[in-house]
A and B are shown apart, each in its own frame.
Chain A
Amino acid sequence: MTTISNEKTVTDGTDELEAHPTPGLAVTATVAKPTSRKRRRTTWLPPLIVFLVIVAVWYLISLFVLNPNLRFLLPLPQDIVLKGFIDPLSFNALIVALWQTVIVSMLGLAIAIVIGVVWAIAMSQAKWIERSLFPYAVILQCIPILALVPLIGFWFGYEFQSRVLVCVMIALFPMVNNTLFGLQSVDKGHRELFKLQGASRFTTLSKLSFPAALPAIFAGMRISAGLAVVGAIVGDQFFRRGTPGLGILISNYSSRLQGEQLFATIITAALFGVLVFWLFGLLGRRAVGTWYDFS
């Protein structure tokens, strides 16, 4: 379980501010931003060096270790770019498949977010509801989704809805768990503040618990977003009807030993996963970054 401390004392002891609480005095208390140019360069430089090293090792293996007949196992990087990405046939297939994966995973994620948040809110309302429902969230997390995939195929067919369903099942638990954790870690003093005013259950939820849980909810979304992408690709491997997604493309290319295209597809899937993770991180920072250190 992720632990998130809700209370951040950022400017404790800045009592020089206390000295001038005079009306009209413009004292702005800004937290120093650690974004000097030097700091920024040092964050991208080391990963870049690692990347170059990896590419170099790649070339070494591809050129000198592998027998040319077996080069599909690790094609040369420029071949991946030329045959896998730039070649119009491969490019079109890649774009169509990527779009399909985007739709499946994001729809699955959206459903998982809604179900997860509603489920967690229900559990936060009463201990008995939590006791009744939480075990099923845990079970959902524990059963290997792959084991259920044949059943899902029987029941819901081998197309779009089954793929989405796999995404939902994979992405659901972090949403349930994080949201519940966020709702339950509301500061006791804040709860009492609301209680003293006789605030209703709904008011307390909408004005206190839910906003307080937002950082945890966004952290859950970021985890679930990555998992939804995994779910879309895994689902593809089993449900092969309808428009192919990246997963189908991957299994097609691998069965045809088209190494360049296979690598291009895998890289695309990976980049999509990273992009989604980054986007949801950005979303979280946008939503709660002003008051919560969302990193």
Chain B
Amino acid sequence: MTVTAPAPNAPTHAKSDTLLDFSNVEMTFPDGTIALQGVDLVVKRGEFVTVVGPSGCGKSTLLRIASGLETASDGTVALGTDRIGYVFQDATLLPWRNVTANVELLAELHGESKKDRAAKAKDAIDLVGLKGFEKHLPKALSGGMKMRASLARSLTLDPELFLFDEPFGALDEITRERLNDELIRLFNAKQFAGLFITHSVSEAVYMSTKVVVMSGRPGKIVETFDVPFPQPRDPEIRFTPEYAALVGEVAHALRKGHGHS
């Protein structure tokens, strides 16, 4: 596998920039499990790509390869940036640090000055709506608020490519929908490219510019849908027949891929 680092003087604002390029990526685990097979996937600036698939189809593996946590067994992975945000399934906040200290962590790991990271943390906390909770420890936060803090932490990196590994999967429906809206707002404000993993079809269609459907074992891309609705998304879109139709199509592709047709 080759990871192409961005050229030092590469333009960082051109709309056509490819931030992630998977070409024929395969992943076979040492025990012989084939997690991914022949995956081609491109994420460009301005795109919010969502991958839906059944549990265990290798969606998370896809993300782990993109982030460099794992190395693909075959194929090429090219990255167009080194500013990559990664939001885990769990909030992964350090329980002994309060919200501010948690949000400051990544800048701290990169050796930034106290003043810089405090400023970054303050901005990020404001952005995710956690103002007033700076001194709270994670255990005093609800699941949704922990996720907000986790998002804020990644935002301090000012990522060009944002990877989300089912971040809202453990949250209740109402909290999840609210965070979907927040994330869309952030996407439009910050102009990062998003690669979002989920098993919720409606979440996928609502948030993304492109929905990629994967089948299970081995994980393959079975179909890709462009989502035509304009960004920023109007929450009311969820109640239109066009939205329902697209959700139906994606769900159908998902069932087909899963062998339930």
**Residues on A close to B: CB < 8 A?**
6-15, 17-18, 21-27, 29-31, 187, 189-190, 192-199, 203, 207-208, 211-212, 214, 288, 290-292
Q: Does B114 contact A (CB under 8 A)?
A: no
Flag if B132 contacts A23 (CB, 8 Å): yes
Residues on B with C-beta less than 8 A from A207 are: 105, 108-109
Indicate if B237 sits at the interface (CB-CB under 8 A). Answer: no
Q: How far is the CA of A6 from the CA of B110 in the complex (A)?
A: 26
Residues of A near B178 (CB, < 8 A) are 18
Q: Which of B64-118 contact A (CB under 8 A)?
A: 67-69, 84, 86, 88-90, 92, 94-96, 105-106, 108-110
Name which residue of chain B comes closest to A24, CB basis. B132
Spell out B's residues near A (CB within 8 Å): 67-69, 84, 86, 88-90, 92, 94-96, 105-106, 108-110, 126, 129-133, 136-145, 148, 172, 174-175, 178
Closest to B139 in A: A10
Q: Is the CB of A23 within 8 A of B126?
A: yes
| Contact present for A11 and B94 (CB under 8 Å) | no
Residues of B within 8 A of A208 (CB): 94
**Which residues of the partner chain B approach A7 to less than 8 Å between Cβ atoms?**
95
Question: In the complex, A17 Cα to B126 Cα: how many Å?
Answer: 17
- Of A12, A23, A27, A193, which contacts B88 at CB under 8 A? A193
When the two chains form their complex, are residues B109 and A197 in contact, meaning their CB atoms are under 8 A apart? yes
Task: Report if A192-B140 is in contact (Cβ < 8 Å); known contacts: A18-B145, A291-B96.
Answer: no
For A214, the chain B residues whose CB sits under 8 A away are 96
B105 to chain A, nearest CB (A): 8
Contacting residue for A193 out of B92, B95, B136, B141, CB 8 A: B92
Q: Which of B86, B126, B131, B143 is close to A15, meaning CB atoms less than 8 Å apart?
A: B143
Q: Which chain B residues border A21 with CB–CB below 8 Å?
A: 129-130, 133, 144-145, 148
Can you list 10 A-B pairs, Cβ within 8 angstroms, ordered by A?
A15-B144, A15-B175, A23-B126, A24-B131, A29-B141, A30-B140, A190-B92, A193-B105, A203-B109, A207-B108
Q: Judging by beta carbons under 8 Å apart, are B141 and A197 in contact?
A: no
User: Chain B: which residue is nearest A293 at the CB level?
Assistant: B139
CB of B96 within 8 A of CB of A12, answer: no
Instruction: Please judge, given known A-B contacts A18-B175, A197-B109, whether A31 and B140 are in contact too, CB under 8 Å.
Output: yes
Contact (Cβ within 8 A) B106 A197? yes
